[in-house]
Amino acid sequence: MRRKIIFLFVGCFIVFLISMCVILYNVYSKQLYSELTQRSDYEDGLITQQLDNLAHNVESCCNNLIMEMNVSMKGKGLNDPSEESAKEKILKVMEDNFLLFKEVSEISILYNTGERYTKIRNGIFSYTTDNYYLAEEMKDTGVGTDGIWIHRDAEGAAVYFVKYLNEITRNNQVGYVILKVDEDTIYNNFKSKKADGISQVFVFDKNGYLLSSSQREALNKVNAQESSELKLSVSQQIYGQIMEYTKEYQVREYQRKNGWNVLTVLDVRQGMD
């Protein structure tokens, strides 16, 4: 009888220990999950804020360029870009804005006549006259006085901000300002996500193109396509795959004011290991 009581006591004690372990594990798991998601929320906020700042700075650069060109090229200068004095003024305006806005890697001033000035950061300054096709392409984007972000095919890993170049005093549209932002500039805002292996970031434009991602394999797959149609198709496939992750991962989607769509994918299980 005594032995039975001892066995019963030991059995109850073991059950108690197992129950306590299960309870403590559940409490610990909930606390770890809460800390993980809170940290992820905080990091997502930082990333989206940095991307918003990037877009804002590029748009400010565009506005500054337009204003400076109107101030420095009064009269027919703004409408006659072939003048030698106009070339010097445009170059100075471009160089001034490169100093102010580090996000921009290339500045182009494209006139409706097909004349184009281009300056690469720390690189060449060129003037060409046969860019009618590009002026038509810009017109077809639906760009206006507010400016738009576009993805251009066969231009490498980059995104562009385009806006009307207006002669302000006459409200006369004479061309376009085209600013190039390298993909690396976007990627640098969440580069650490590739290293941590727990979360991933994907940035799509308003049309569904994948512009940048911490998952470099996905971006390389898009850029390897030969046409804009194929790039868009692969981008949409990647977006669809991300949406399927919700069964196993925590997916958050952030629509930005400039039209970008930022998706973050959190591997909760790996983060809690």
CATH number (domain holding residue 95) = 3.30.450.20
* pLDDT at residue 271, rounded to an integer: 44
In a domain, 171, yes or no: yes
**Structural domain contains residue 38:** no
Q: List the one residue out of 247, 224, 101, 79 whose CA is nearest residue 165.
A: 79
What's the pLDDT band for 262 if we cut at 50, 70, 90? Answer: very high
Total domain count, the chain: 1
123 within 8 A of 115, measured Cβ to Cβ? no
**Residue 154 within any structural domain of the chain:** yes
> Is residue 229 a part of any domain in this protein?
no
CA distance 269 to 3: 45
What are the DSSP E strand ranges found in the chain?
106-111, 116-120, 125-128, 148-150, 158-167, 172-182, 199-204, 210-213, 250-255, 261-266
> 253 in a domain, yes or no?
no
Q: What are the pLDDT digits (tens) for 1-29?
A: 666 666 655 566 566 566 655 554 555 45
* Domain assignment of residue 39, yes or no: no
Q: How confident is the model at residue 165 (pLDDT cuts 50, 70, 90)?
A: very high
The pLDDT of residue 24 is: 47
Which of 244, 254, 239 lies closest to 41, judged by CA? 254
Under the banding of pLDDT at 50, 70 and 90, the label for residue 237 is very high
Q: Specify the pLDDT at position 175.
A: 92
Task: Name the residue range of residue 161's domain.
Answer: 53-184
Question: Which of 75-79, 105-109, 179-183 is the least confident region?
Answer: 75-79
Buried b (16+ CB within 10 A) or exposed e, 15-24: eeeeeeeeee
Using 50, 70 and 90 to split pLDDT, how confident is the model at 193? low
Residue 139: exposure state from Cβ atoms within 10 A (0-12, 13-18, ≥19): exposed
Residue 98 belongs to a domain: yes
Both tokens of residue 206? 């308003």
Kindly tell me if the per-residue pLDDT of 51 is higher than 90.
yes
Whether the per-residue pLDDT at 223 is higher than 70: the answer is yes
Share of the chain above pLDDT 70, in %: 77
pTM comes to 0.82
32 within some domain: no
